[in-house]
């Protein structure tokens, strides 16, 4: 009986270790979300609405809870021309073992159609959204310590409008949001380099940014002005969280030849790099979640509610 008990424990352990992201599924999702039928996913367009519905369907399939009707947090803002633009953040969540919240995010909008050309934004940022979907599915099946909010933000390309609206009208108290993990462009790099930004501002998070492999290599920078790199702190949706003094880690790649061009297509990403990025970021999220007490070293009194 004792041997049988040890065998059962071993099988459970091995099964837990083998639980990973479905690599074929994430590639299939990326190909889907960067398809022409979504018309470049520009905020306020039918193509953007179709992309939102794709994300909603996946949230439902994963069994996420919703704060809003059909996962949609409506947003409204003025564009540079003074026109009113309406869009939707797509927000789902799962309850963790604590009330502290990790927001895992990416933006699903892109540039739309220009001069008859569709800007599909496979890397920017269908790649990040697909990762959010994969993590929603994973943590819905494996309860984390943090309560996790999965956010597909709209209107990032129009000035981080979706994430700005989210932190201005949060579905949970900002005091309970311990960290934002944001992903914007994680599928296209020829040098196997993925940057993790935010450890300059929040060095207590750096020990958790480790991976069991080097696919991709995780580099630091683009947040420390002394490095000479461009400062990415406010260049994607993590900037909205940092403006509220909420710690963040942002994963992304340096600009490539297809950045903000109609050639940012599924066939031009680095598939092995993308799959590696999704799995590596999951490992890092799990590191942070496992060590959530140490990762929560945040001065709550400076977080604006």
Question: What's the CA gap between 250 and 238, in Å, rounded?
Answer: 7
Q: Could you give the CA distance from residue 277 to residue 125 in angstroms, rounded to a whole number? A: 14
| Residues facing residue 65 across a β-bridge | 93
pLDDT value of residue 117 = 98
Backbone angles phi, psi at 147, to 5 degrees: -75, 135
Tokens of 183: 């992903």
**Chain segment 202-258, per-residue pLDDT in tens:** 999 999 999 888 889 999 989 987 776 789 999 999 999 999 999 999 999 999 999
pLDDT tier, 11 (very low <50, low <70, confident <90, very high otherwise): very low
Does pTM top 0.85 for this prediction?
yes
Each domain of the chain, given as residue ranges in start order, spans 22-302
pLDDT digits (tens, 9 = 90+) for 86-129: 999 999 999 999 999 999 999 999 999 999 999 999 999 999 99
Q: How confident is the model at residue 7 (pLDDT cuts 50, 70, 90)?
A: very low
What confidence tens digit (pLDDT) does each residue in 267-281 have?
A: 999 999 999 999 999
For residue 298, the model assigns a pLDDT of 54
The CA–CA distances, whole Å, from 130 to 53, 58, 299 equal 14, 10, 32
* CATH number belonging to the domain at 22-302, selected among 3.30.1330.40, 3.40.50.1820, 3.40.630.10, 3.30.1370.140: 3.40.630.10
Long-range CB contacts for residues 288-293, cutoff 8 Å, separation at least 24: 288/102, 288/179, 288/181, 288/205, 288/208, 288/249, 289/96, 289/102, 289/144, 289/145, 289/146, 290/145, 291/208, 292/98, 292/100, 292/145, 292/146, 292/178
C-beta of residue 188 within 8 angstroms of C-beta of residue 269: yes
- 275 close to 27: Cβ distance less than 8 angstroms: yes
Structure tokens at 106: 């990416």
Return the DSSP state at 103.
Answer: E
Condensed to tens digits (0 to 9), the pLDDT of residues 121-156 reads 999 999 999 999 999 999 999 999 999 999 999 999
Confidence of residue 297 (pLDDT cuts 50, 70, 90): low
Q: Please give the pLDDT value at position 120.
A: 98
Containing H/E element for 101? strand 101-107
């Amino acid at each position: 009986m004792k041997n049988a008990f040890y065998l059962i424990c071993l099988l459970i352990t091995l099964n837990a270790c083998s639980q990973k992201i479905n690599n074929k599924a994430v590639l299939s999702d990326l190909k889907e979300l960067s398809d022409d039928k979504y018309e470049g996913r520009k905020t306020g367009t039918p193509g953007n609405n179709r992309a939102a519905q794709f994300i909603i369907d996946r949230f439902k399939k994963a069994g996420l809870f919703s704060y809003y009707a059909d996962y949609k947090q409506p947003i409204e803002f003025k564009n540079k021309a003074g026109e009113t633009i309406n869009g939707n953040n797509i927000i789902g969540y799962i309850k963790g073992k604590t009330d502290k919240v990790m927001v895992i995010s990416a933006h699903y909008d892109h540039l739309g159609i220009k001069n008859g050309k569709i800007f599909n934004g496979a890397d920017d940022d269908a790649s990040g959204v697909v990762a959010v979907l994969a993590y929603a599915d994973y943590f819905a099946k494996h309860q984390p310590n943090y309560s996790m909010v999965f956010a597909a933000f709209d209107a990032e390309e129009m000035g981080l409008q979706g994430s700005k609206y989210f932190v201005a009208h949060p579905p949970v108290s900002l005091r309970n949001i311990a960290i934002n993990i944001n992903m914007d462009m994680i599928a296209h790099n020829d040098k196997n380099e993925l940057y993790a930004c935010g450890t300059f501002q929040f060095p207590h998070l750096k020990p958790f940014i480790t991976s069991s492999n080097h696919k991709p290599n995780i580099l630091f920078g683009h947040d420390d002005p002394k490095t000479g790199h461009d400062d990415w702190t406010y260049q994607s949706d993590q900037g909205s969280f940092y403006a509220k003094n909420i710690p963040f880690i942002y994963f992304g790649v340096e600009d490539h030849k297809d950045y903000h061009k109609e050639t940012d297509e599924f066939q031009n990403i680095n598939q092995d790099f993308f799959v590696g990025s999704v799995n590596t970021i999951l490992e890092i999220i799990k590191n942070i979640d496992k060590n959530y007490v140490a990762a929560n070293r945040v001065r709550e009194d400076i977080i604006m509610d």
